[in-house]
Amino acid sequence: MGFEELTSELHKGADAEGKKIIHAAEKNAARIVEDAKEKAAETLSAAKKEATEFARQESAERITSAKLAAKKMVDEAREEAVEASIGQAWHKFKADSMKKSSYPEMLNALVKEGMAELGVSQSTLYVRDEDRQYLQGREFRKLPQEYSGGVIVESQGGRVRVNKTLEEIFAQKKPALRKDIYDRLF
Whole-angstrom Cα distance, residue 97 to residue 156?
28
pLDDT at residue 12, as a whole number:
82
pLDDT at residue 1, as a whole number:
59
pLDDT at residue 80, as a whole number:
94
pLDDT at residue 15, as a whole number:
83
- Compute CA distances 61 → 50, 74, 102, whole Å: 16, 20, 59
Q: Which helix (H) or strand (E) element contains residue 7?
A: helix 3-97
User: What is this structure's pTM?
Assistant: 0.63
Cα dihedral 46→47→52→55 (10° resolution): 140
Beta-carbon contacts of residue 167 (< 8 Å; ≥ 6 apart):
146, 147, 148, 150
pLDDT, block means (10 residues), the chain with 186 residues: 75 84 88 91 92 93 95 94 94 89 92 91 91 87 94 90 95 93 88
pLDDT at residue 18, as a whole number:
86
Q: What's the start-to-end Cα distance of the chain, in Å?
A: 114
